Amino acid sequence: MVDMSYVDVFLSPSTRQYISNNTMQTKPSVLSWSGTLGTESIGRLLHQFSTSFWRPDIWLLDGMTWEDMQPSEKLRYPEFSDVWVYPLLFSAVFICLRYFFAEPLVLNPLAKWVGMTQVRPNPPVPSKVLEGVYQAHGTTPPAPVLQEASQETDLTKRQVERWLRRRKAFMKPTKYDKFMDCGFNFICHSVFCVYGCLIMYGKSWLWDIKLCWTDYPNHAIDDDVWWYYMVLLSYFWAESFMLIPATGRKPSDKVQTLCHHFFTVLLMVFSWTCNFVRIGTLVLLVHECADIPLLAAKMHVYAGIKDRIEILFGTFLVLWLVTRCYLFPFWIMHSIFTHPTPYLGMPAAYFLKALICGLFVLNAIWTYLIGAILVRKLCGGVLEDLRSDAEDSSDQDISRKTD
């Protein structure tokens, strides 16, 4: 039988069983991965870890085994291997779409049409000494470091500080860069929202949420739902890959955004693995709607267009309140905690509830931040200054976290 010891840790038991049953029996080869004692030991350890991790009493209903979850012609179960293979491959498609299609053919012409140009400050005169100071301390080095840099470069302290500020300004994303980023996200979220509405309109569990739990786990995965999951996972992976090398953003901002993407990916992968896909599609749909007017408002901010910003922000606020403050807690969470049948008590179900509660806490925090900014602007009588606050870290956090 084909040796699966090196890869079965990444595959669900149902996948391994299917491969084993449909693979020709082969004799051990001198080129086999387990040809040496060392590799055999590693293979056994990985196999033991995989067996312990995929224990049926954790992931499945009482009395079920992974053989019961094998795909068949009549019923297509979700496969764990799908969510770690296809999204990583498809993420490259999103990266190519952004840099070879969306930006040059759609967003750049749009930016020129609204009068935006790519203007970046001139870089400072190259200096290894000052570059080292900037990499170590940013624009606020300690006084002794500033004094030493001034002596080594024959520049005054003020000139050194000016060099450091210019170095930061050169790497900081411009409004044009932010317009490109928001524009690509706007296109993606608009497509995701429309596609999600189209496929979910014909799903019975959208109109009767109790069907998310009826006859669980015997829920077939339709092709449109399969693509819905794979495409959204690919998008979040692509966003993470593009964010890591991005320059000019605070490390703390990167960490927050990456944590948000990781939490989203974890929730989707887990719901897919345990076949909580029906409730998962509802969570995705509810969290998609409010992003569109928010991103559109931010594009108006960066383009300097004053019209329609308040309308877009108001639309975002209404959608946020309806979807994340009402539908998510009082429809989806209520169903998760009250509708599942009593026998749905495996540990994996409790982990799903924990993830959903975590998402609720995040939504509550972001709602508080949004409300605080709105109240501050209303009390100051300068609601339209929300546009200029797009440059402030507080508003950046809110707009990013709602992505």
What residues does each domain of the chain span?
A: 8-54, 80-114+174-401, 128-171
pLDDT bracket for residue 65 (50, 70, 90): confident
CA nearest to 276, candidates 204, 352, 358: 352
pLDDT score recorded for residue 181: 93
CA-CA distance, 84 to 71, in Å (whole number)? Answer: 18
Q: What's at 281, amino acid-wise?
A: T
Q: Where are the beta strands (DSSP E) in 226-338?
A: none
Contacts of 183 (CB under 8 A, 6+ apart): 102, 103, 106, 107, 110, 111, 295, 299
Helix axes 309-322, 291-303, angle to 10 degrees: 160
pLDDT bracket for residue 248 (50, 70, 90): low
Per-residue pLDDT tens digits for 160-216:
889 988 888 888 888 999 999 999 999 999 999 999 999 999 999 999 999 999 888
Of 22-36, 211-225, 261-275, 305-319, which gets the smallest average pLDDT?
A: 22-36
Q: Does residue 141 have a pLDDT over 60?
A: yes
- The reply to whether CATH 3.90.1690 applies to domain 128-171 is no
Q: For the purposes of burial, counting CB atoms within 10 Å of the CB of 207, is it exposed (0-12), middle (13-18) or buried (19 or more)?
A: exposed
Contact 395, 182 (CB under 8 A): no
Q: What is the mean pLDDT of residues 397-401?
A: 37
Q: Does residue 389 have a pLDDT over 50?
A: no
Name the residue with tokens 């952004």.
Answer: 98
Q: What is the DSSP string of 363-397?
A: HHHHHHHHHHHHHHHHHHT-GGGGTGGGGSHHHHH
pLDDT score recorded for residue 74: 75
The overall average pLDDT reported for the chain is: 81
CA nearest to 80, candidates 227, 274, 253, 261: 274
Contacts of 1 (CB under 8 A, 6+ apart): 20, 23, 25, 26
pLDDT bracket for residue 38 (50, 70, 90): low
Contact 50, 9 (CB under 8 A): yes
Q: Does residue 93 have a pLDDT over 90?
A: yes
pLDDT score recorded for residue 12: 52
Which range among 39-48, 66-75, 362-371 has the greatest average pLDDT? 362-371
pLDDT score recorded for residue 216: 87
Per-residue pLDDT tens digits for 111-139:
999 988 888 778 888 888 888 888 888 88
Per-residue pLDDT tens digits for 11-37:
555 555 544 454 444 444 443 444 455
CA-CA distance, 187 to 296, in Å (whole number)? Answer: 10
pTM listed for this prediction: 0.79
Contact 206, 282 (CB under 8 A): yes
Q: Which has more confidence, 371 or 253?
A: 371
Contact 113, 299 (CB under 8 A): no
pLDDT bracket for residue 70 (50, 70, 90): confident
Q: Does residue 390 have a pLDDT over 80?
A: no
Name the residue with tokens 């005054």.
Answer: 156
CA-CA distance, 179 to 110, in Å (whole number)? Answer: 10
Of 94-98, 303-307, 354-358, which gets the smallest average pLDDT?
A: 303-307
pLDDT score recorded for residue 89: 93
Q: Does residue 2 have a pLDDT over 60?
A: no
Helix (H) or strand (E) holding 64: none
Q: Is 77 left (phi over 0), alpha (psi -120 to 50) or beta?
A: beta
Contacts 24+ apart (CB under 8 A), 363-370: 363/324, 363/325, 363/328, 366/398, 366/401, 366/402, 367/320, 367/324, 367/325, 369/394, 369/397, 369/398, 370/317, 370/320, 370/398
